Amino acid sequence: MKSLKIAFLSIISLLLVTPHFGQTAQRTLVKSFNVSKVQTVNLNLDGDVVVRKWKKGLMRVEMKISLENGNDRLLKSMVIANRFNLDSDISEGEMTVFAPALENEITIRGKEITEKISYIINVPEQVEVNVLENETLSLAEEKEK
C-alpha cells in the first residue's frame, strides 16, 4: 500500500511539473515616438514587422519578445537591463529606429540565449516607412483607427 502511495504521488508530481518544461518566456513592450516633424521612418530592426497606418500623430511600436531557451525571470532581467530598448535618430526629416543592445549576443553558462522578436508598428498615414537590415515586412491591409 505504501509503494502504491509513493507511485501515485510520483505520477501526480510529474504531471504537475511537466507543463513547465518547453514553455517559452514572453513579453510585450510598447514604445511611442513623436513623428510630427518626420516624413520618413527607417526601421533598422531584426525580426518580423507589420506596419499599420493610423490617424494618430504618434508612431507606436509594439514589440513582442519570446525566449526559446530562457525563463520569465531571465526575460524580466533583460527588460530591466534595457536589452530591448528602442532608440531613434532624426536627421533631415528622416527618423531611424533601432535597438542598439540587440547587436550583442547573450550567453549564460556557455549557451546562447535565443530571442524571437516581432514588431507591430502603427504609423501616421502621411509618414513613409522604409525597411533596413534583416526584417520581414508586411503592410497591414486594415487601417487602425
- Predicted pLDDT of residue 136: 55
How would you class 111 by CB atoms within 10 Å of its CB: exposed for 0-12, middle for 13-18, buried for 19 or more? exposed
- Predicted pLDDT of residue 61: 97
- Predicted pLDDT of residue 68: 87
| Residues 59-115 pLDDT 10s | 999 999 999 888 999 999 999 999 999 999 999 999 999 999 998 998 888 999 989
- Domains of the chain, by residue range, sit at 24-139
| Residues 23-47 pLDDT 10s | 678 999 999 999 999 999 999 998 8
Show Cβ contacts of residue 66 under 8 Å, excluding neighbours closer than 6 positions. Answer: 24, 25, 26, 27, 115, 116, 117
- Predicted pLDDT of residue 15: 47
- Predicted pLDDT of residue 108: 86
